[in-house]
Structure 1
Amino acid sequence: MLDIGLLVRVHVDALIVAQNHMGVCDAIRRITPVGKLAAMSAPHLPKVAGIDPEVPVSTHTPAPLREVPGPPGAFLQDRLAGWVSDLTTLHELTERLAGTSTLDEALNELLRAGAALVGARRGLLVLEPANGEGPSAILGLGLGLGLGRAEIGHIETVPRASTALGRVLDGLPDTADGVITPDLLDEPDLDPRHREVALRLGYAASYALPLSSDAAGRLGAAVWLYDEPAEPAQKQRHLAGLYARYAAEHLARLIELERARADVAAVAEELLPSRLPRIPGVRLAARHRTGPRGGGDWYDALPLPDRTLGLAVGSVGGSGPSAMAAMGRLRASLRAYAVMEGEDPVAVLSDLELLLRLTEPARTATALFAYCEPAARKVVLAGAGHTPPLVLGERRCEFVETTLSAPLGMLACWEAPSVELSPAPGETVLLYTDGLLRRTGDTMDRAFARLHSAAASVPKRDRHDPAAVADHILRTMLPGGLDRSDSAEDVVILAAHFD
């Protein structure tokens, strides 16, 4: 058997290690072969008697490897694992923040996430947009994590310039990347009042960050408090800074959204009665909330001659500024028709139908108008595609049976018989729009059943107060409250209690 010796030995283990450390090409360049195969370099000798001549073995020995690359350091693996962990944490926190749809939810999430990133237990956030724009409800808003209202009040008594939060809010030059106070009580020029509050609340260090976006500028600042002298590490500050920049952009969008909603609500309130009339024999109460996009639900109560009263509720199809403008025109027109012929609700709605068909043929609306004589406890009403009123008293809780009718704008000529009812002393007539039913998320049949159940459950002590009746029904029908941002429906309730 032919035995061919090699002139070079390849250190396989060293090569594999070098490949892992530097890459295949670099490893091959570092480990240089010391010779060539003799079979490749020696001349071929003639064969003798069919036997190949013996190939001599080289006497050269391979030079030892003087530089064998060592294995990659464990610190590199740890660093890569740390980067992956940090990016995963930051991604999860920003995803949770992006899932918030209201300003309160976003602020609470920001405080919690920031505390987790910098290793603090308590925090305080103040919204104070530099441009002064935004709903008045959020300007100067202070929100605490692990701090009660009384504790926040104590912090607010500290002079603003002596706190890290105040310096960040004032936009001082040295606060762009945050303010670290590792040992608050050891500060030589610490304000005495600040020292007193820190000792009372039990915090000894703080880390404050500005909240600013490219579009809106400075929005506010957040500060996290430590129970003992401490400061966040460089990596913690870096992650907190990245998160704060993303959070500021999200907050800027939510503030703009809140401002738009506040403007819509203000316009809607201006289009509705500023106050309810006082007529002997009847007491009124109204509750109204406009959806985030602005809707067309409305109500009205106007005094008529001879101490009579006109009550109306209605809804214009669509949402947004156009629906709100149409609602204002419709309400103003109904007031004019009610003054002229309010004793006949059918005539009032017929005139309104004609006006809507001639001026806005693409618009539909529902309306209910009631002519009330409180002294005689007499109510005559007519509805155009509207939900029926509900009568609540000591001995009954029932819907008024009104005639079926299409909404305004859907017929060439609208006319339906009116309905007359006589409320007993102490009874309340409840007018409302279908937004109250739709906000429940149930089918209309189930929503009507819930409304009836809510009205029947009004405590007896509250049944003589129309405001208490309306509030109880709203609490029962909408446990989440009227200000839910995920519902586009307007809500209107108009309660008339007859003495």
Structure 2
Amino acid sequence: MSAPHLPKVAGIDPEVPVSTQTAAPLREIPAAPGAFIQDRLAGWVSDLTTLHELTERLAATATLDAALNELLHAGAALVGARRGLLVLERAGSTTPSTTLGLGLGPADLGHLETVERSATALGRILDGPPEAADARDGIATPDLLGDQDLDPRHREVATRLGYAASYALPLASEAAGRLGGAVWFYDEPGEPSEKQRHLVGLYARYATEHLARLTELERARADIATVADELLPSRLPRIPGVRLAARHRTGPQGGGDWYDALPLPDHALGLAVGSVGGSGPSAMAAMGRLRASLRAYAVMEGEDPVAVLSDLELLLRLTEPARTATALFAYCEPAARKVVLAGAGHTPPLILGDRRCEYVETTLSAPLGMLACWEAPSVEFSPAPGETVLLYTDGLLRRTGDAMDRAFARLHSAAASVPKADRHDPAAVTDHVLRAMLPDGLDRSDSTEDVVVLAAHFD
């Protein structure tokens, strides 16, 4: 017979032997970790929190200038310095170097530039091989004035500016390479601790990656702006009886807003503004094709703006059926002060003078490319001597952030508020309108809208 099995209770296997040894009763509570360990843990948490906050602030910067300023301030806070200097220069790049100071005025930067580059820690970092130990870990000079081998000119500048120590650090990473370097100045002899060096090194490597991205982005934006400028008139024509001024800003991705002014037979003048749907290189290329086509049609039949836009509609529908565009073309006879215009889905012009400030009533019509056959009546009006006709794209209205009806009212108010002394200067008129409409400036980098303003002042 087999031995009887004991019943299982609450998941306990009765066949497992029970130890006959019992643990001694707990007579005292284990001591908590020492204060030293607690302080170390608290310090690590504080350092990580600080580093996280600084990198978050850096990541929020959208322009290179803002990122460089943030880097200088954050680095100064990490190493315990008050002043600093940053130089951004990529090895082998044709882009000019960028120099930025913290707590240093233009005169101070000028004094620092008189010191031979090889005599400074920052210069050795910038000019030395990337694999050098100093180029990786930074160079601390805890007592500049006590250094017997210090360059005499460097000693003179340090005494004049009142700094006694420095810490230089490269801006480098494995992916981005070396972009430049930064140096922070101490008012008294001293140097950052090992922990400070470790934190600022981590921060600098992250900052380098961010700066590399912003550098490439700004280079792309500059290339886009250059292409956009090349697609627009290099200069405005001079026609007796009328003076012209234009302002244009291309969005960071490149857009399709454009303008044109071309002399026509019999001392006439053709004015045009328009916008191609979309953004990027494709929209810019379409804008260039559309503007070139309109110039050709304007030379052939510019006295009839409706025919010009009808031809443009047919061309767009046959060659780029998936694209839409708005356009406005005006045929001007300055000697007779006569303007005939037609618009295709475009914003109406604004006429400004001493006695009136009003929108020109144009016929409602669909944009180019949206109808099988486009045609709308033209509008004729006569600017009085001293009046200015303002043509613009809807990017000017959208940049305000207001609803369109409020943006139109804001534009009207901006034009009406032009001082009388400036109303005979088309450039002054456009600049005043832009300042009133866009207080943050025409070149605000966080806007994706193109802006075009074209002013024609009739003498």
Q: Same fold (TM over 0.5)?
A: yes
RMSD: 1.7
Q: What residue in structure 1 maps to residue 335 of structure 2?
A: 375
Contact 1:213–1:252 (CA<8 Å) still a contact in 2?
Answer: no
From 117, 125, 134, the counterpart of 1:168: 125
Partner Cα distance (2:418, 2:116) in 1: 49
Indicate the residue corresponding to 1:73 in structure 2: 34
2:446 aligned with 1:486:
yes
Q: Does 1:119 align with 2:74?
A: no
Give 1:498's aligned residue. Answer: 458
Contact 1:349 1:384 (C-alpha < 8 Å) held by counterparts: yes
- Partner residue, 1:108: 69
Instruction: Write the letter of the residue equivalent to 2:42.
Output: A
Contact kept in structure 1, 2:176 and 2:208, CA below 8 Å: no
Check 1:9–1:390 CA distance in 2 against 1; reply closer, same or farther (3 A cut). closer
Q: Secondary structure at the match of 2:255?
A: coil
Indicate the larger mover: 320-329 or 145-154: 145-154
Amino acid at match of 2:113: E
Aligned partner letter, 2:452: V
Q: How does 1:173-192 map to 2 (within 5 A)?
A: 173=132, 174-192=134-152
1:239-272 CA distance string (max 9 Å, x none)? 0000000010111111111111111111111111
Gaps of 5+ in 2: 1-20
Counterpart mapping for 1:287-366 below 5 A: 287-366=247-326
Aligned length: 436
Q: CA offset at residue 379 of structure 1?
A: 1.1
- From 214, 218, 221, the equivalent of 2:174 is 214
Question: Is 1:82 aligned to residue 43 of structure 2?
Answer: yes
Partner SS, residue 185 of structure 1: coil
1:291-347 deviation digits (Å, cap 9, x = unpaired): 111110000111111211111000000011111111010000000000000111111
Report Cα offsets for 1:2-34 as digits up to 9, x if no partner: xxxxx99947356x43xx6xxxxxxxxxxxxxx
Query: Counterpart in 2 of 1:283?
Result: 243
Relative distance call for 1:401 and 1:169 in structure 2 (3 A) is same
Report the Cα distance in structure 1 between the residues aligned to 2:410 and 2:160, rounded to whole angstroms.
Answer: 50
2:256–2:276: 8 Å Cα contact kept in structure 1? yes
Provide closer, same or farther for how the CA distance between residues 434 and 13 of structure 1 changes in structure 2, counting only shifts above 3 A: same
Secondary structure class of the residue paired with 1:286? strand
Code of the aligned partner of 2:329? F
Shift of residue 204 of structure 1? 1.3
SS in structure 2 at match of 1:441: coil
Q: Distance in 1 between matches of 2:390 and 2:205?
A: 50
The amino acid across from 1:278 in the alignment is R
Q: What TM-score, normalized to structure 1?
A: 0.85
Q: Residue type of the partner of 2:135?
A: T
Specify which of 190, 193, 211 is matched with residue 153 of structure 2: 193
2:93 aligned residue = 132
**Cα distance in 2 for residues equivalent to 1:426 and 1:156:** 52
Question: How far 1:391 moved relative to its partner?
Answer: 0.9
Equivalence for 1:34: none
Partner of 1:12: 26
SS in 1 for 2:262: strand
Shift of residue 364, structure 1, vs aligned partner: 0.4
The amino acid across from 1:155 in the alignment is: L
* Contact kept? 1:128, 1:140, Cα under 8 Å: yes
Partners of 1:310 and 1:224 lie apart in 2 by 58
TM-score (norm 2): 0.92
1:462 is the counterpart of 2:416: no
Contact 2:163/2:187 (8 A) holds in 1:
yes
How big is the shift at 1:125?
Answer: 1.1
CA distance in 1, matches of 2:33, 2:363: 86
Superposition pairs for residues 327-476 of structure 1, below 5 Å? 327-476=287-436
Match of 2:11 in 1: none
Distance in 2 separating the partners of 1:185 and 1:498: 68
1:149 aligns with 2:106: yes
What is the rounded CA distance, in whole Å, between the counterparts of 2:115 and 2:266 in structure 1? 61
Q: 1:403-451, CA deviations, whole angstroms, 9 ceiling, x for partnerless residues?
A: 1111001111111111112111211111100000001111001111111
Summarize the Cα distance change of 1:209–1:9 in structure 2 as closer, same or farther, 3 Å threshold: closer
* Cα deviation, residue 286, structure 1: 0.8
Other structure's SS at 1:405 match = coil
For residues 453 and 114 of structure 2, what CA distance do their matches in structure 1 show? 43
The alpha carbon displacement at 1:482 in A equals: 1.9
Letter in 1 for 2:35: A
1-structure distance, mates of 2:385, 2:113: 53
**Matched letter for residue 51 of structure 2:** L
SS at 1:245's partner residue? helix
1:249 to 191, 200, 209: 209
Deviation at 1:193, TM superposition (A): 2.3
Quick check: 1:93 aligned with 2:40? Answer: no
Aligned partner of 1:28 in structure 2 is none
Q: What amino acid sits opposite 1:459 in the alignment?
A: P
